[in-house]
Structure 1
Amino acid sequence: MLSSRTTPELIAAFRYHVIAPLVSRPLSYGEQRALIQTLCQQIWQAPDGEPVTLSPRTIYRWLAAYRAGGWAALAPAPRADVGTMRHLDPEILALAIQLRDENPTRSVQQIIRVMELAHRIEPGSVKYSTLTYHFRRRGVLAKQAPDPEHVLRRRQAPYANAEWQGDTQYTVRLPDPARPGRTKQAYLFAFIDDYSRFIVGAQFFFEENRPRLEEVLKWAIVRHGVPEILHCDNGAVYSSHYLQRVCGELAIDLRHGRPRHPSGKGKIERWFRRVDQQFTGEVETLIADGRVQTLEQLNALLEAWLAVGYHDAPHKSLAGATPRQVWTASRQDHPPRTQPVETLRRIFLWQDTRRVDKTGVIQLAGNRYEVDARLARKTITVRYDPYDLTVIHCEYQGQVYPDATPLVLHHHRHREVPNPESPPAAPATGLNYLTLAQEQQATRAQAQQARIRYATQSLNSAHPKEDPPLHA
């Protein structure tokens, strides 16, 4: 049973995680049925941390809900009995535990049926989820079996865009534009196509956060289409609810590698090693020589190296073909799944919930906005571009309402969004008022000296000296 602190967003993310392999690519009826049977055999970790197993009926129900209403349809509807007491009589619970101890093979549903037939409870008065919750709290149910020993197996996606792998590398340090004389870490965000080893997106930033990940992933999808599977690191930026929602709305199966097992993302890890061998050493030399000082220069060199030194270079794992050749040939046989740019822009908007006060006003990122009067005292969903807080889209229970009107706009950008990088400072002018005045004084003195010499020469010419007398 899920905790009351488990939000609908977490539940929707868990349900999509289960059905993602069923919606990320087309499946025949037989393939879908076999895959659902496989999913039912797995033990899943619910949002509250408890191990659970799922029935085919549950998975079919979630699958139908997603296909009918998308990501939003996976979130549970508000309970009809909110505010009422949901309590299990201690005597009934003790009897249920005793029935379980007497025969550990009895299922929860069977125990409820036994108590109903014995007239200890009214039919339907004890729910399966309620009794399961109390059993788990008291350790009555069997715990999840430990994972089998990890075995490494070489694998590869069947075609381009079937799977992307993403990660972040601490590559080099650049001069800090805000603090002269100091350096700042540059982070490389990258996504690689598992089948072709083609780099679909890579860029350096000074920040390792959600907006930077969003920028690289969004432009990779715009340029190259939507992947079926996105295999990422377990870092905070890759485990955010935001990325789960984006993948859910784009029908991407988001997967995370096991902690401390980078081999699960072997393609991107191997590419980072190639970056260290072919790119990092060369660019560090240019940084030391002062020829690379900015992110713009660093990203321009990365783009050039990808085009010349990687994408068109023979790859041993591709039987001597280049990543570009394999990427291009596979996309001809398996055209990429694309989305309109406007749809992608809406999906990549940030999303939050806000409680509207009685005057129809909400607060967001230090700003105050007025919303439609019909939304007063309701909890609504807001979507917005973190780089432009002047436009806030409002939704309530799946219905779109007019955009919010800014009342007090202290911030035009969200605080989590990095400020625009300041342009490099202009070189010093070398001008100084006192030295310029001194130079001007010297110039005037020279001119005055020249005028004095000219006047003296003119006077001597007008009054020539007499020759001295000759003495006998």
Structure 2
Amino acid sequence: MMTKNKDWQDEVALQRYTMITPLLSEDLDNAKRIAMREKIAQDNLTTARSLYRYKKAYRENGFQGLRPTDRQKRRSQALPENFDELLNEAIQLRREVPERSVEQLILILEMEGRVAPGVLKRSTLERHLYNAGFGSEHLRTYKDARESSSKRFCKPHRMMLIQGDIKYGPLLPIGKRGAKVKTYLSSAIDDHSRFVIASKFYASQEEEVVEDTFRSVLLRAGAFDRCYFDNGSQYVAKQLKLSLAKLGISISHAPVRSGKSKGYDKISIM
């Protein structure tokens, strides 16, 4: 029973970790982070405030901080009743998405267990938001602020980001009775120094190949902050994500059909 409960908690923690991974990058400015948090919340049917709490829990306690408590304990938690705290929560939610109506703000606070249904009135919250300078007309400028240009894609220090990629290798007579087998070169390169930390030919390009490559990285160079992969099946495998998450290593994926963003490995291994 304990194992089953732990598996359920790990599953939820991995889902939360996958959602907040793009938000962990130190390269994001505040406006871009807000816009990204909003999109992730919409895509995953959750709230930006929930993503904020998941990120805070991960920063404080690592992967374990994302594991939910027992369902029974979670239901028994007391709900906050202080209006000033509720107002601050509503202000944060509106700053994230200025288009949110007062009704939506109240619904989110109720869904998140911040206040009991029916306690917070629309007219009361609307009046206090306006007096605090966060009425609907006050925050129209936030929409333009979310549109910002991307920064130069290069980390300032080594072992902050490791790029991984797999390239086709030559046919080698390593099969049964000397049969030629297609090989694949799996490599890992440090984004800052462009140093190839691990690079080896394999007879397949399965998930185990990626795991072996990054095991070599850890043994040779130690822990690092983040991985950068394309969207190949071996790079989005659940076990790989879980293993890296437990080590505190974040994963980013290149945009679909964006070959230029994965050019370092091509240059380094040719």
Q: TM-score, normalised to structure 2's length?
A: 0.61
Cα gap change, 1:156 to 1:61, in 2 (>3 Å): closer
For the 8 Å contact 1:20–1:254, the answer to whether it is kept is: yes
For the 8 Å contact 2:13–2:68, the answer to whether it is kept is: yes
Q: Which amino acid aligns with 1:76?
A: P
Give me the whole-angstrom Cα distance separating, in 2, the residues matched to 1:24 and 1:45: 14
For the 8 Å contact 1:10–1:241, the answer to whether it is kept is: no
The alignment partner of 2:168 has SS state of strand
Give me the whole-angstrom Cα distance separating, in 2, the residues matched to 1:37 and 1:78: 35
CA offset at residue 58 of structure 1?
5.2
The alignment partner of 1:246 has SS state of helix
Greater Rg over alpha carbons, structure: 1
CA offset at residue 232 of structure 1?
0.7
Q: 1:12 — aligned with what? A: 13
Give me the whole-angstrom Cα distance separating, in 2, the residues matched to 1:166 and 1:112: 39
Cα gap change, 1:269 to 1:245, in 2 (>3 Å): same
CA offsets per residue over residues 229-274 of structure 1, 9 Å max, x none?
21011111111122222222222221001111121222113334xx
Q: 1:235 — aligned with what? A: 232
Find the partner of 2:67 among 60, 75, 98.
75
The alignment partner of 1:45 has SS state of helix
CA offsets per residue over residues 100-153 of structure 1, 9 Å max, x none?
xxx98444243699xxxxxxxxx8358xxxxxxxxxxxxxxxxxxxxx99x887
For the 8 Å contact 1:192–1:198, the answer to whether it is kept is: yes
Q: 2:88 — aligned with what? A: none
Q: Does 1:217 align with 2:214?
A: yes
Q: Give the structure, 1 or 2, with the largest relative contact order (CA under 8 Å, sep 6 or more).
A: 2
Cα gap change, 1:271 to 1:240, in 2 (>3 Å): same
CA RMSD for the aligned pairs?
Answer: 4.1
Q: Does 1:197 align with 2:194?
A: yes
Give me the whole-angstrom Cα distance separating, in 2, the residues matched to 1:10 and 1:263: 33
Give me the whole-angstrom Cα distance separating, in 2, the residues matched to 1:159 and 1:238: 24
Q: Does 1:63 align with 2:63?
A: no
Cα gap change, 1:152 to 1:50, in 2 (>3 Å): closer
Q: 1:50 — aligned with what? A: 44
For the 8 Å contact 1:161–1:193, the answer to whether it is kept is: yes
CA offset at residue 8 of structure 1?
4.5
Within 5 A, what are the aligned runs for 1:254-403?
Answer: 254-272=251-269, 275=270
Q: Does 1:249 align with 2:246?
A: yes
For the 8 Å contact 1:262–1:269, the answer to whether it is kept is: no
Cα gap change, 1:110 to 1:185, in 2 (>3 Å): same
Q: TM-score, normalised to structure 1's length?
A: 0.37
Give me the whole-angstrom Cα distance separating, in 2, the residues matched to 1:208 and 1:153: 32
Number of residue pairs aligned between Structure 1 and Structure 2: 208
Give me the whole-angstrom Cα distance separating, in 1, the residues matched to 2:178 and 2:220: 38
Give me the whole-angstrom Cα distance separating, in 1, the residues matched to 2:44 and 2:180: 45
Give me the whole-angstrom Cα distance separating, in 1, the residues matched to 2:43 and 2:24: 25
Cα gap change, 1:112 to 1:256, in 2 (>3 Å): closer
CA offset at residue 187 of structure 1?
1.0
Cα gap change, 1:199 to 1:61, in 2 (>3 Å): closer
Find the partner of 1:161 among 152, 159, 172.
159
Cα gap change, 1:65 to 1:160, in 2 (>3 Å): closer
Q: Which has the higher helix share?
A: 2
CA offset at residue 37 of structure 1?
6.8
Give me the whole-angstrom Cα distance separating, in 2, the residues matched to 1:159 and 1:232: 19
CA offsets per residue over residues 429-457 of structure 1, 9 Å max, x none?
xxxxxxxxxxxxxxxxxxxxxxxxxxxxx
Give me the whole-angstrom Cα distance separating, in 1, the residues matched to 2:236 and 2:244: 12
Give me the whole-angstrom Cα distance separating, in 2, the residues matched to 1:37 and 1:12: 26
The alignment partner of 2:71 has SS state of coil
Contiguous gaps of at least 5 residues in structure 2 = 1-7, 75-98, 110-114, 119-145
For the 8 Å contact 1:40–1:53, the answer to whether it is kept is: no
Find the partner of 1:108 among 104, 109, 123.
104
For the 8 Å contact 2:227–2:250, the answer to whether it is kept is: yes
Q: Which amino acid aligns with 1:241?
A: K
CA offset at residue 155 of structure 1?
2.7
The alignment partner of 1:191 has SS state of strand
